[in-house]
Amino acid sequence: MSTTSKRNVVIIGNGMVGHHLVEQLIENGALAQMNITVFGEERHRAYDRVHLSEYFKGRDAEALALCDADYYARHGVTFNSCEAVVSIDRAAKTVATEHGHYAYDHLVLATGSYPFVPPIPGNDREGCLVYRTLDDLDAIRDAAQSAATGVVVGGGLLGLEAANALRGLNLETAVIEFAPRLMPMQVDAEGGELLREKIEALGVQVLTERATQRIEDGATSRHRMVFQDDKILETDLIVFSAGIRPRDQLARECGLEIGERGGVVINDQCQTSDPAILAIGEVALWNQSIFGLVAPGYQMAKTALSTLTGGDASFTGADMSTKLKLLGVDVGSIGDAHGNQNPGARMFRYLDPLTQIYRKMVVSSDGKKLLGAMLVGDNSAYDTLMQYYANGIELPKEPASLILPQSGAAPALGPGALPETAMICSCHNVTKASICSAIDAGASDLASVKGDTRASTGCGGCASLLKSVVDHELAARGVEVDTSLCEHFAYTRQALYDIVRVKGIKTFSELIEKHGAPDAHHLGCDICKPAVGSILASCFNEPITDAAHIPLQDTNDTFMANMQKNGTYSVVPRIAGGEITPDKLVVLGQVAQKYGLYSKITGGQRIDLFGARLEDLPDIWAELIEAGFETGHAYGKSLRTVKSCVGSTWCRYGVQDSVGMAIKLENRYKGLRAPHKIKFGVSGCTRECAEAQSKDIGIIATENGWNLYVCGNGGMRPRHAELFATDLDDEALYRTIDRFLMFYVRTADRLQRTSVWRENLEGGLEYLKEVILDDRLGMGEELERQMQTVVDNYQCEWAGAISDPDKLKRFRSYVNDSRPDPSIIMTSERGQLRPA
C-alpha cells in the first residue's frame, strides 16, 4: 500500500495512556495502514508516572522512560516533543501547533489531566508548586534546597506521594486535607484513623478538616497558611495535590461535547461527539465518570485501537480497585469498599491497634459473594480477596477467616482455584486464560510469559500472583519449574544446604566448581555469593573474615558494621539480655566521646554508636574488646538480640528469671548465621513487657517453666508469634529451640524470615510441631548436634580481625591514601554529631 493511501492518525498527548495506544498500534501491525503522528508538550518522551516518586530516589527521566529513545523512529512513528497542539479545526480536519498545521483522518485526544489548585488567595506565590510532571519534581527539588519545611495540600493518593517526596528531601512535612480523613475515597473512618497514626509515626504531620483561606508572608517561614478557624501554619514550601481536572480545553474550543463538570464525553467505542475524534485516559468522560488510574486508561487505549482498525470492542467501565504503598504504608481498596453501593450488604471488620492492621470486607446479604474490601497496614490478603471479588467466587463458610490473623486454617485461594476468566493483570487486561495461552504457545518461564502478555509490566502489583499462576500452570503441563538459585547454581537454597552439609564443602570455590556453573573466575553473583556465605557459616561457623569467605560478604559483613547513609559505620557491641555493668557503660561513653560517635539506645536493649569512620573501626573495637565486649552481629543475618524484662529478680509480678534466661539464650545462639536476621524476647510473666510475641522466638515465663512462641516479627509486615509449646523446663527449652532454628536454617529460602517460612511451610504449625516436638522425621538429635557445632565454634569476629594484620588492611577509605574520607561531613544536633 502506498504512503499516500494511508490514513493519518494524530495522537495528542504522550503520557502513559497515549504511549500505550502507540504500542498497541505498532504491535497489531496498524502502521501498514496508518501514518501516526504523536504530539507531546513535555521535553521528555513518555515516562512512568506510577513510579514518579522514585525520581527523588535516584531514577532519572531515562530510567523512568517507557521506551527506548529511538523506539518511535524505529517503527516509523513521527514523534514531536516540546510541541503543543494549540487548536483543532474539525471542518478542515487539521490540528495546529506553533510550527504549522497537520492533517488527520482520525484524531485521538490523550491529553490527560492537570493538577487542581484551589482558588486560594496567594496560591501563585513563589514556592507554591504542583506535583505532576518531571519538570514539577525538578522545581520541587530546587525549592527544597532553601527550605526546611514543606506542606502538601491534599491527602489523597497523589498527596501522600507528594508528602513522601518532601520527606525524602529532608523537609519537615505536613499534609492538609479538607475531608475528615486521609484518602477519603479509598478508606473509611477506622481505616483513615489508622492511616493517620501510621503516617504521623513516620514524622509527617496530618491536619484534616482544614480549609485554607489564604496564603501570605510568614513570620518565621516563607509562607503562612491561614485556615477557616483562623489557625495558622507556617512553611517554606507548598505543594498542591488536591485532585486532578481533565485537560479538555482543546475539545471545548473546537465544540466537542463536554461533561457538566469537565471531561470529553465518549461512547463505548471511545468516540467523542465527532466520530473522527476519540478520547482516552483522564481527559475522557464515560458514563459520567473520569478514571484517574492507569489501568482504565490502558483499557480505553485497547478499545481505541479496535475502533481505529474496524473492530467492535467496547469500553464498559473499569474496576477502580487499587493496591498501594504510601510512605511505606500498605493501603488496599477493592470494589465497593465502603459498602454504600449495595443495599443489604454485610460487613466484617478486623482492627489490631497494636500491629496497626485494619481489614474490612463487604459481602452480599447471603454471605456468599465479596462485594468490596479495604486494607490498611497490610496488603498480604489483597490478591486473594481481589480474585474472590473479580471472579465472583463463592466465599468460604466463614468469610471472616479471610481477614483474620492467619492461624493455619484460613482458606487459601491457590492459582488452581482461579477460573480461566480471572483477571491477573488489570493494567494490561491479562487473564489467566491469556497466561495459559502464552504457555501453550511456547512460553516456558516467567520472563517469557511477561514478554508475551505484558503482565506485571504496568504498576507491578500483580507480580506475586503472576508468578504463582505461571509456576502452577507450568507444573500442570509437566514442565519442570526452574527453582535455580541463580545462573551459577541449578539448585534451591535448601538443596545447596544439603550438598554443603553432606559433602562437607567449606569454600565457595569448591562448591561452584563441583556443583555449579562457574564463570571464568569462579566469582559467582550478588545472589549466590551471600547465600552460599550464609550456608557455610550456618554449617561450620568459621569466621566470615577468613580470606576464603570475605569475597562472599556484602559491605556490612565485610567490615562487620552497618554502613550508614553518609559512608560512616555503626558500632554495636553485644549486651546480652540488656544487662550491663556500670564499668562497661562508662567505657561505651568514653569510646563514643573519643571518636565523636552519635549514641542511641536501640529497641533491642543495646547501645548503638553511629558515625564511625572506616579507618577507626579497628581502634574502636580494640578498646571495646579490651573492656570485655564482643561483636553484637548487628550487621549479619544472624541472632540480633534477646530482649528481656527485669523478671523475678526485681519485678513483683515476675515468676521466672527472664534476664538470666535471656543471657543464656543470647550466649548460646550468638554465633548462628541464618537465612535472615533473628530476634528473641523473654518475658518474666504474662504481662509481656519484653514483647516476646512479636519475635522470631518468644519465651514467656509460667509458674511451671516457659511457654515458647515462634515465627513472629515486627517491621513492615508485623506477624504475631504462635504458641508452640508450654511449660518447658530449661533443658527442654534449649533442645526445642535448637531443633527449631536448625530446621529453619536447613529448609528456609534465601532472605526468608521465620514468619514467611512458616506461612509457606506445607502442613503449617502442626507439621512443625510434629517435626520438632514429636521428631516425626527422626532428625531431632541431628539438628541438636548441628546446633552444638555452631555453639562450639563461636568466635568473636572482631576479636579475630584486630589480631590479624592482613584483615586490618581492609579498613582504609582509599587503597593508596591513608587520609580519612573527605566526603564525610558531620554537623551537630541535640548535642551529638549527625550526617550533614
Q: Is the pLDDT of residue 408 over 70?
A: no
Looking at residue 412, its pLDDT comes to: 53
**How high is the pLDDT of residue 813?**
63
Which has more confidence, 410 or 212?
A: 212
Q: How confident is the model at residue 468 (pLDDT cuts 50, 70, 90)?
A: confident
Burial class (CB in 10 A: 0-12, 13-18, 19+), 425: buried
Q: Are 3-114+246-308 and 117-242 in the same CATH fold?
A: yes
Q: Which residue has the cell 512535612?
A: 173
Q: Does pLDDT of 522 surpass 60? A: no
Query: Within 10 A of 694 (CB to CB), how many other CB atoms are there?
Result: 22
Confidence grade of residue 4 (pLDDT, cut at 50, 70, 90): low
Q: What is the pLDDT of residues 797-822, one digit of tens each?
A: 999 989 888 888 878 765 455 556 66
What is the reported pLDDT for 330? Answer: 86
Q: In the predicted model, what is the mean pLDDT of residues 446-457? A: 81
For the domain covering 3-114+246-308, report its CATH number.
3.50.50.60
- Give the mean model confidence (pLDDT) for residues 453-462: 73
DSSP string, 70-96: THHHHTT-EEEET--EEEEETTTTEEE
CATH of domain 117-242: 3.50.50.60
Share of the chain above pLDDT 70, in %: 95
Share of the chain above pLDDT 90, in %: 56
pLDDT tens-place string over residues 38-73: 999 999 999 988 778 778 766 778 878 888 889 999
In sequence order, what are the residues at sequence separation of 6 or more whose Cβ sits closer than 8 angstroms to the Cβ of residue 504?
A: none
Of the CA atoms within 13 Å of residue 197, those in its CB half-sphere come to: 15
**Fold of the domain spanning 319-413:** Enolase-like; domain 1 (3.30.390)
Q: Check whether 233 has a pLDDT greater than 80.
A: yes
Give me the DSSP letters along 701-754.
EETTEEEEEES-B-TTS-B--EEEEEEE-HHHHHHHHHHHHHHHHHHPPTT--H
302-21-4 Cα angle (round to 5): 110
CATH class of 415-479: mainly alpha
Q: Which residue has the higher pLDDT, 524 or 642?
A: 642
Residue-level pLDDT at 409: 38
What is the CB neighbour count within 10 angstroms for residue 772? 27
Q: In the numeric block, which cell numbers belong to residue 27?
A: 504491535
For residue 737, the model assigns a pLDDT of 97
User: What are the domain boundaries of the chain?
Assistant: 3-114+246-308, 117-242, 319-413, 415-479, 483-545, 569-792
Burial of 174 (0-12, 13-18, 19+ CB in 10 A): buried
Contact (CB, 8 A) for 738 and 730 = no
Class of domain 569-792: alpha beta
Q: What is the pLDDT of residue 235?
A: 96
Nine-digit cell at 51?
Answer: 513510579
Dump pLDDT digits (tens) for 145-203: 999 999 999 998 888 889 988 988 889 999 999 999 999 888 999 999 999 998 998 88
Give the H/E segment covering residue 770: helix 764-772
HSE-CB for 139 with a 13 A CA cutoff: 16
For the beta carbon of residue 163, count every other beta carbon within 10 angstroms.
31
d(CA 23, CA 718): 41
> Residue 410 — pLDDT band, cuts 50, 70, 90?
very low
Confidence grade of residue 627 (pLDDT, cut at 50, 70, 90): very high
Mean pLDDT rounded to a whole number for the chain: 88
Give the pTM.
Answer: 0.58
Say if residue 407's pLDDT is above 50.
Answer: no
C-alpha separations of 48 from 52, 65, 415, 452 in Å:
6, 6, 29, 20
Pairing mode, if any, of strands 232-235 and 223-227? antiparallel
